[in-house]
Chain A
Amino acid sequence: MTDIQEGDHVVFKRDGLSRVYQMRRNREVYFERSKFKVDDLIGQPYGSTFEIDRGKLVKFEQEKVVQLKETISSLPGADNRNLLDAESNQKMSKDDIMKMKDEGITGEKIIEELIENSETFKGKTEFSQAKYLKKKKKKHILVFTVLRPTPRLVMEIFSKEPGKICNLRPDTLSQLLNYGNVMYGSNVAVVETCQGLVLASLLQRMGGEGKLIQLVPNTSNSVCRQVMDYFNFPKEHLDNVYMFPLDTFSTITDDTEETDGNSAANLNLETSSEKTVTAPTDAASTDGGDSSIDSKTLMTVGGVLVESSDKSDQSENAALLNIPGKAAPSTDVAEANDVTMKDNDALIENAAGGEVIGGKRQLPPNRDLQRQLKLQKQKEAGQIIRNKQLDSLILACKYNPLPILMTMLEFLPPSRPVVVYCQYLEPLVECYTQIKKKGIGLQLRLSETWFREYQVLPQRTHPLMNMSGTGGYLLTFMTVQPVIEKVQS
């Protein structure tokens, strides 16, 4: 389908800025200091460009920009020798501009006026004029393109706040996917605290086949998968996503019937609390110390405002240290359990075409069934891990990677790729040293990427003045069995 449907998440992209909005009739969105209804976008082909003309959506005609370009001429050989930095250079005041806007004068007209009233514009060089014009256009003309979300575009949403996705950059995420050898039908185990961005990117590369097991610290943690919603994944794809709490690892390691007993105990515990909690879809309660700050600021991510209850179960992180310890959650985390359940329920329900309004998920009619289903899936995931059916292991999280890595490597068959991403170098040095010492990894490589963007314009080509200083670090290797196989030669 190439047209925008109601309910779709759509990327609004303009120069250097992207946001995601869900398409709902009668809903106003706030984008780049403008408020408008998106009704008219429904039914339009993806890739269309629109302009906000005096508060209304108008299909954008490319000719206008060209015209604007031709109206200006510059004196040949002009330079800055007589340029004085004076307020009087622009005769129009801010109030004049605001007044024009209020009167409903178009952005193009305002820019023309600005040029007209500029003392210095004519004396500027051609390049300088172009730069001026570009700046003014960005400020006074709101033009954007509506696009289907892809990992690349969603990544741009986070470009101004990379901390929310552990400083992942396109170059590092792309290597994560490639070095992880993720493809159609892969069984992938992943630990991520990147809002679901890594999860969604993996799921897309799996093309609706294979199993994607998200490892979460424990049963009582709610995980943020906000980005998953952006991709409008069909239900069959979402069915391949599993969640496996790392604190139930003991159920995998002892290969007995106790597994069922354990799950049953968990089930009882979870059913005991029937409390409704506002869905904390974007409360990044899984990250460490700064989680409360994170979850608050998070609410504006992507423009899709979701009601957020600031639930930070930081203490749960401690449970990670117990791997593979005894996994009996205490009763006081039961409520948090409920949160996780609900989050997951919502995911299932969402896939089933359930109503999702403004991020507030309606409860499914049969929660008990959903619970059973979840536990069933958890068990399935455990079986895949235990039967060593994983094809790759990917870590991109704010947890200490070493214990998770070492635990999971037991269950990874030889000759499988492992990628560990971390925004810090030191934890990866630890992992590197351990893998090397144990001799369980080949092509062991610790790296970072130097990534720079260029401005390419006639006679003005140079690297951009600002660049990202870090995109995090990657540790990649292939698992091997260090035992010698004797063969005749």
Chain B
Amino acid sequence: MSFRKMKDTIDYGDTVILHIGYDNMLPIMIAKGETMQTKFGAVKHSSLVGKQYGTKIQCSKGWVFVLQPTPELWTLSLPHRTQILYSTDISMIIFQLDLKPGSIVAEAGTGSGSLSHAILRTIQPSGQLLTFEFHGERCDKARQEFAEHGLSEFVTVTHRDVCGEGFQLDHLVDAVFLDLPKPWECIASAKNAIKREGGRICTFSPCIEQVQRSCEELSKNNFTDIVTVECLARNFNIQYAKLQNVLPSDVPLAANGDSVNCGTEEDESKQKSHKKVKKAPESFLNKAQDNQVKTAVHNYCFSSAIPTIAMQGHTGFLTFASLYYH
């Protein structure tokens, strides 16, 4: 039930995210008599009941945090059965499909349910998600997860290959999402699934050739406003950095006499300042000229937000289109 509404304390049956470290999270469903092993020691489920979400839990070899799951945390901690969609793309999909409470959505395939959870958060309690998956076991697993998360009443998981068999929906949904190897094969069927008053569609494909064929098929089926985008998250690390000043005497760099602050590292950290440009006092300059040998100790220090060295370069192309009153 911990997915439906924000709550304060942990109960039996709740799914709880054990936060062990950044991007190291374990989802557990609180059950009587169960124990979870973490690298910081064992956590007895019963000992968490009644504890407030967001608090620190002491284990034998360290501590962990207990968090209430959100679809974003779930995406980072869920058991992978397939490749999954991540929150940057998911956010875009939900926004571009115009989803809101009450929307009816068709999704193929279900996969590991990463997107499904975010859709369900947005469309519940009056909306419905009709999700299709051609892999029997994944279907069962997804159904079980939705039940454990208290979301069953908003979702129908169907075991079917929509490529070939189609959605078999008659003008019922507001939006369709396709994450399939050959999305173009079910665009006609998707069109038939979309309400007569119109709706939105999205396809997610890693390869441009797939996008090409999907777009052609979308046009053929009178979808309009076809837009293909790519969005990638760039994360920043905050680093306190220092660069050595090498010019003798750290002389003014600019013609106007400004100089980069070249105080010692200790001075800088005391001030806790960023890229600070200040006018060097006369006396300081003279002193610096006197002590040309000691230049090397002076550093230019600053804290900086720098993108991570390695980042995800591609997830997939998102193609969105509208089907108007038809």
Q: Which residues of A contact B (CB under 8 A)?
A: 2, 13, 45-49, 145, 150-152, 170-171, 173-175, 177-179, 181, 183-186, 204-208, 391, 413-417, 425-426, 428-429, 432-433, 436, 442-454, 456-458, 461, 473, 478-489
Is B234 touching A170 in the complex (CB atoms < 8 A)?
no
Cross-interface CB contact of A47 among B92, B198, B215, B227, cutoff 8 Å: B198
Asked if B247 CB lies within 8 Å of chain A CBs, one says no
Is A478 touching B67 in the complex (CB atoms < 8 A)?
yes
User: Which of B54-62, B128-136, B138-146, B254-262 makes up part of the contact surface?
Assistant: B54-62
Is B231 touching A171 in the complex (CB atoms < 8 A)?
yes
Is A181 touching B121 in the complex (CB atoms < 8 A)?
yes
A179 to chain B: which residues have CB within 8 Å? 72, 87, 91
A413 to chain B: which residues have CB within 8 Å? 8, 52-54
Contact A489 B43, CB 8 Å, known A205-B100, A449-B234, A451-B229: yes
A444 to chain B: which residues have CB within 8 Å? 22
CA distance A454 to B228 in the complex (A): 5
B58 to chain A: which residues have CB within 8 Å? 484-487
A457 to chain B: which residues have CB within 8 Å? 215
Cross-interface CB contact of B60 among A2, A173, A484, A489, cutoff 8 Å: A489
* Nearest 8 pairs of A and B residues by beta carbon: A414-B54, A207-B101, A415-B54, A174-B95, A415-B53, A47-B324, A47-B325, A174-B91
A184 to chain B: which residues have CB within 8 Å? 101, 124-126
Is A481 touching B54 in the complex (CB atoms < 8 A)?
yes
Is B55 touching A485 in the complex (CB atoms < 8 A)?
yes
A415 to chain B: which residues have CB within 8 Å? 52-54, 66-68
Cross-interface CB contact of A443 among B22, B51, B197, cutoff 8 Å: B22
Is B65 touching A461 in the complex (CB atoms < 8 A)?
no
Shortest CB-to-CB span from B173 to chain A, Å, is 15
A2 to chain B: which residues have CB within 8 Å? 197, 325
Asked if B181 CB lies within 8 Å of chain A CBs, one says no
Shortest CB-to-CB span from B64 to chain A, Å, is 10
CA distance A486 to B22 in the complex (A): 22
Write 22 A-B pairs (CB below 8 A) sorted by A numbering: A47-B324, A48-B324, A151-B98, A152-B96, A171-B91, A174-B95, A177-B94, A179-B72, A183-B121, A183-B122, A183-B124, A391-B6, A413-B52, A413-B54, A414-B52, A415-B52, A443-B22, A449-B231, A451-B231, A454-B230, A481-B52, A483-B56
Is A456 touching B236 in the complex (CB atoms < 8 A)?
no
CA distance A93 to B231 in the complex (A): 44
CA distance A150 to B225 in the complex (A): 15
CA distance A391 to B238 in the complex (A): 27
Cross-interface CB contact of A174 among B5, B48, B56, B92, cutoff 8 Å: B92
Contact A429 B238, CB 8 Å, known A449-B88, A456-B228: yes
Is B51 touching A485 in the complex (CB atoms < 8 A)?
yes
Is B47 touching A461 in the complex (CB atoms < 8 A)?
no
Asked if B212 CB lies within 8 Å of chain A CBs, one says yes
CA distance A124 to B121 in the complex (A): 52
B118 to chain A: which residues have CB within 8 Å? 178
Contact A171 B238, CB 8 Å, known A184-B124, A417-B70, A426-B274: no
Known A-B contacts: A207-B100, A478-B70. Give 11 more (CB < 8 A).
Answer: A46-B325, A151-B98, A175-B91, A177-B91, A179-B87, A433-B303, A446-B305, A453-B228, A453-B230, A456-B319, A484-B63
Interface residues of B in 205-248 (CB under 8 A from A): 208, 211-212, 215-216, 224-236, 238
B281 to chain A: which residues have CB within 8 Å? none
A207 to chain B: which residues have CB within 8 Å? 100-102, 126
Chain A CB within 10 A, most for which of B5, B43, B72: B72
Cross-interface CB contact of A461 among B43, B66, B208, cutoff 8 Å: B208
CA distance A206 to B67 in the complex (A): 22
Is B95 touching A152 in the complex (CB atoms < 8 A)?
yes
CA distance A456 to B228 in the complex (A): 7
Contact A204 B41, CB 8 Å, known A433-B303, A450-B232: no
CA distance A458 to B215 in the complex (A): 9
Interface residues of B in 298-326 (CB under 8 A from A): 303-305, 317, 319, 324-325
B52 to chain A: which residues have CB within 8 Å? 413-415, 481, 485
- Nearest residue, chain A, Cβ from B60: A489
Asked if B296 CB lies within 8 Å of chain A CBs, one says no
CA distance A286 to B227 in the complex (A): 35
Interface residues of B in 21-79 (CB under 8 A from A): 22-23, 41-44, 47-48, 51-60, 63, 65-68, 70-73, 76
Asked if B90 CB lies within 8 Å of chain A CBs, one says yes
Is A483 touching B91 in the complex (CB atoms < 8 A)?
no
Is B231 touching A454 in the complex (CB atoms < 8 A)?
no
Asked if B19 CB lies within 8 Å of chain A CBs, one says yes
Is A175 touching B87 in the complex (CB atoms < 8 A)?
yes
Contact A449 B229, CB 8 Å, known A179-B87, A181-B72, A207-B101: no
Contact A449 B232, CB 8 Å, known A205-B100, A481-B54: yes
Cross-interface CB contact of A151 among B43, B95, B230, B304, cutoff 8 Å: B95
B5 to chain A: which residues have CB within 8 Å? 185
A178 to chain B: which residues have CB within 8 Å? 71-72, 87, 90-91, 94, 118
- Nearest residue, chain A, Cβ from B51: A485
Is A487 touching B6 in the complex (CB atoms < 8 A)?
no
A461 to chain B: which residues have CB within 8 Å? 208, 211-212
